[in-house]
């Protein structure tokens, strides 16, 4: 992973656990300038957790940088990889409430919200629920869980570009169950037997890790080949997809009227296979006031050099 376009590595000056109810504790951290402009980073997946390099999108002299792991993943507990994992209290509404609780606990009046992929969906949902708490939005790889988005990547559309990798994604699912792959995966991912759920989780997670960059990233694929990480990631994603984010079709794009006053930048890779540009374009069409940046030599990942440069430019612009 080449991160030359970002700020140098930094360490958090404060970390903690936030008790959010329902038995869940969220890991959170703050880095950068304690007196700086607050920004909260919303990671993707859902279920991927945060990584130290994600602090580097923000000028550490200008920003008070908040990262946290959403329910069930990363360093938050209980972890969704447990054989008896209960995801009933991991929903969009719960995550929005968690962000608000974290904001209040950190004494933040208003903050910039930065999110990519699933994080872009959560950022839109949070902003629409709490517009008064959001100073700006920086969004990348737009994903809103509409039917056409899920069917493209998880039900067969993207197989046209990656037929070799698609065969590996199909492998855990019997032929007679392949008419609805998300539901077929759901049955396996939530089987308590590791001999059933781990192969399914690895196939699901590797499919995504193998296709999110313009060129294959061996390190990213290896990271998503860890059974514990892959199980939590696949289970939480699948749980949200089966429930369509608990949104009506097209809700997030239809809801931009309530947030169009918030300064925003939308960054989209032209060759994004995971969250194709059609969704970013629909959001841009509905919300022309937001700046729309298309990176012609990038796929989905925030680690792509062109995506990095565009995101850093956005956060630099809003740093004042």
List residues with catalytic annotation.
Answer: 117, 272, 300
Q: Distance between alpha carbon 172 and the CA centroid of its chain, in Å?
A: 25
**Long-range pairs, 100-104, Cβ under 8 A, ≥24:** 100/126, 100/130, 100/133, 101/18, 101/20, 102/18, 102/26, 102/28, 102/40, 102/66, 102/68, 103/40, 103/133
**Vertex 238: Cα angle to 235 and 240 (nearest 5):** 110
Q: Which two tokens stand for residue 72?
A: 């069930």
**Vertex 272: Cα angle to 210 and 140 (nearest 5):** 110
- How far lies 285's CA from each of 253, 290, 292, 319, in Å? 9, 10, 10, 26
**Vertex 276: Cα angle to 200 and 154 (nearest 5):** 20
**CB 118, CB 45: distance < 8 Å:** yes
Tracing tokens 């296979």 back to the chain, one arrives at 273
d(CA 86, CA 170): 26
d(CA 141, CA 97): 23
């Amino acid at each position: 992973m080449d991160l030359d376009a970002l700020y140098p590595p930094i360490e958090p000056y404060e970390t903690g656990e936030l008790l959010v109810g329902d038995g869940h504790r969220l890991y959170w951290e703050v880095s950068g300038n304690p007196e700086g402009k607050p920004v909260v980073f919303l990671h993707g997946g859902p279920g991927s957790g945060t990584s130290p390099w994600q602090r580097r999108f923000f000028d550490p002299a200008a920003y008070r940088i908040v990262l946290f792991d959403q329910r069930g993943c990363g360093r938050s507990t209980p972890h969704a990889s447990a054989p008896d994992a209960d995801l009933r209290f991991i929903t969009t509404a719960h995550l929005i409430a968690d962000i608000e609780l974290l904001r209040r606990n950190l004494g933040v009046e208003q903050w910039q919200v930065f999110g990519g992929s699933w994080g872009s969906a959560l950022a839109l949902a949070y902003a629409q629920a709490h517009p008064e708490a959001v100073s700006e939005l920086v969004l990348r790889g737009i994903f809103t869980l509409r039917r056409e988005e899920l069917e493209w990547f998880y039900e067969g559309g993207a197989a046209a570009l990656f037929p070799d990798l698609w065969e590996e994604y199909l492998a855990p699912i019997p032929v007679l169950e392949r008419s609805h792959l998300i539901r077929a995966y759901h049955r396996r991912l939530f089987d308590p037997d590791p001999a059933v759920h781990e192969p399914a989780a690895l196939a699901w997670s590797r499919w995504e890790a193998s296709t999110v960059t313009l060129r294959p990233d061996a390190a990213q694929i290896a990271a998503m080949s860890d059974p514990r990480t892959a199980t939590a990631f696949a289970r939480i994603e699948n749980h949200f997809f089966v429930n369509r984010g608990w949104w009506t079709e097209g809700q997030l794009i239809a809801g931009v009227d309530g947030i169009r006053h918030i300064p925003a930048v939308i960054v989209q890779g032209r060759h994004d296979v995971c969250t194709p540009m059609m969704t970013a374009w629909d959001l841009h069409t509905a919300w022309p006031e937001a700046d729309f940046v298309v990176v012609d030599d990038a796929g989905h990942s925030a680690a792509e050099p062109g995506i990095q440069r565009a995101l850093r430019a956005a956060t630099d612009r809003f740093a004042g």
